[in-house]
Amino acid sequence: MNYQLFAVFLVGFAARLDRGLAAIGDRYAFERILPEPRVCIHDGCLQGKYFNGLDGDRYEGYLGIPFAKPPVGKLRFKNPVRNDPWEGDYDATWERSRCLQKNDIRPLQTVQGSEDCLYLNVFRPKNVTGPLPVIFFIHGGAFAAGSSSMGEFGPERFMDTGKVILVIPQYRLGVFGFLSTEDRASPGNYGLKDQLFALRWTQRNIAHFSGDPNLVTIVGQSAGSSSVQYHMVSPQSKGLFARAVSMSGSALGSRYYSVDQLALARRQAGAVGISNASSLSTERLVDALREVDGLELAKSIDKLKYFYVHPILRWHPTIERYVDGETFISEDPREVWRSGRYHQVPYTMGFLPNDGAYTSAILLSNSSLLNELNEKSADYIPRLVAVNHPTSVRMLKKRFFPDGSNDHWLTEKNVGNLETMLSEGQIIYGVVLGAKQILALNNRTAPLSVYYFNFRGPYSQSYYNSYTQGDFGVSHADELLYLFRASELFPDFKVGSPAWYMAKLFVEYLVYIAYNGVAGLPCTADSCPLLEFTNSDDASRPVKLNLIDGFDEEKFAFWSNLYAVQNSVKT
């Protein structure tokens, strides 16, 4: 007999019986309203709020907690500074502004947010009785957009498990997060250093939320996925996490390492009308940029594009040339990774079939953009995957657009290959490269597992990439819809539907990783089975799990050869 269910039944039955017999006191049988949750941390006390889960129980939310001083005024283009403590209770019942940004991943966007944005949200199940593992989630958005908003990253599914604490920070984006002059005037990587500050905050404070600081799992998607790898290679992040999960993103892609950062900083200054931007000293250049209105600085990103919104990844992490005690990246991450000198913790990587949809969906669904791209296809298309070496350009055309002319690569027959090229070149190659380099190590001490998310549900993030209902398959960031409740983007899944089951399964998959390190069969030097999540025709088992025997070696070989040529000669 299930004694827990029986006990619940007895309590309910007794309550009904009591209501039926008791006449005295009924007039005072008011609804019990518990006080809102409250937690005290090193900086002071927090007044949180109860929220309703999806399965009926409530959870605690502490929103907009500061983990650094607002990076405004003289602190713009500076490493984060620890915030001051406060007296009294801090109101952690409402979300603060997202970081200042122009989200070019979605069409027709305007500038949003504030520079005062270094806040994080913490969620924990109600009535936590012991230290729980912590999931520290880093949002994506091409290092240019995104936030910790509950409307996109609702914690309900994780909270309904009652098994983990969830921390979601914000970090500076775009020029505010990644301006670099390649010297001490502006070393760069402020967005990554903000994440680092949030991780340190978690280590100092998470025990007060009944979280286990020794069981922190960093999870990131897209740019957040790349961020996870940057933390794995940075000496600054050592010891701050015990597991890691990278979802559809890599820090090993060539597009991070082919930019003259100082030249870009001067172009940025020119875009906002700073005089003599090309000849100012770097100190005066950065001082002048600090004086520019934040809204104008964010809007000026449009002047730094060569086609439509490209490159979307205009500002991003860099190798810091000026090295001091706060330097985040001083050595090429690709070499650190390849040599096995990263933080070897249990690691999970994953990707989707159409991981390039955040770029390709709007192009394929907008004929005027597609024709504009085709008019300069020999120049523009290779740049979308960080290629400009003549031999690499020819390799790219031959593989994906063989029937196009040298002046107009795209045809009705091959235009769909643009989607494939972008998925492989922008996301999947870097993921597979990272996994293969781990498996080639002789000094590997931690397990690796890889998943392939191939489940099609009723909604797709590709709608917000194109504002059409076009069928782009399983698209970049679709897996997030099964981890987080995205109430501002899509309706909830129907209870009992295949998507509802998929969400239950995928959340449990991440929770299992938080407890145990990896889930599924770990990779070995000889074999790396991919755990595939996909649809099932069996109504009694609406989600199917398959094991795929390794990666597509022919695709990997093509991209390896292409980038070997691309990187062989500086152009």
Catalytic positions, written as ranges = 222
**Burial classification of residue 249, based on how many CB atoms lie within 10 Å of its CB (0-12 exposed, 13-18 middle, 19 or more buried):** buried
Q: Are 171 and 192 in contact, with CB atoms under 8 Å apart?
A: yes
122 token code pair = 């913490």
- Asked if 328 and 320 count as a contact pair (C-beta separation under 8 A), the reply is yes
Q: Which helix (H) or strand (E) holds 547?
A: strand 543-549
Q: How far apart are CA 407 and CA 372, in angstroms?
A: 12
Sign of CA dihedral 198, 176, 66, 485: negative
Q: Which amino acid is at 175?
A: V
Nearest Cα neighbor of 123 from 144, 95, 82, 84 is 95
Q: Is the peptide bond before 390 cis (omega within 30 degrees of 0)?
A: no
Strand locations in 455-495, DSSP E?
Answer: none
Q: Is the peptide bond before 311 cis (omega within 30 degrees of 0)?
A: yes
Q: Considering just the CA atoms, what is the radius of gyration of the chain in Å?
A: 25
- 275, 277, 279, 282 alpha-carbon torsion, rounded to 10°: 120
Q: Are 42 and 84 in contact (CB under 8 A)?
A: no
> 124 has which bridge partners?
60
Read off the DSSP letter of residue 454: E
Single-letter amino acid, residue 339: S
Distances (CA, A) of 25 to 18, 28, 29: 11, 5, 7
What's at 483, amino acid-wise? Answer: L
Q: How is residue 498 written in tokens? A: 């295949």
> Which residues, listed in sequence order, are joined to residue 544 by a DSSP beta bridge?
534
Q: Which helix (H) or strand (E) holds 8?
A: helix 3-21
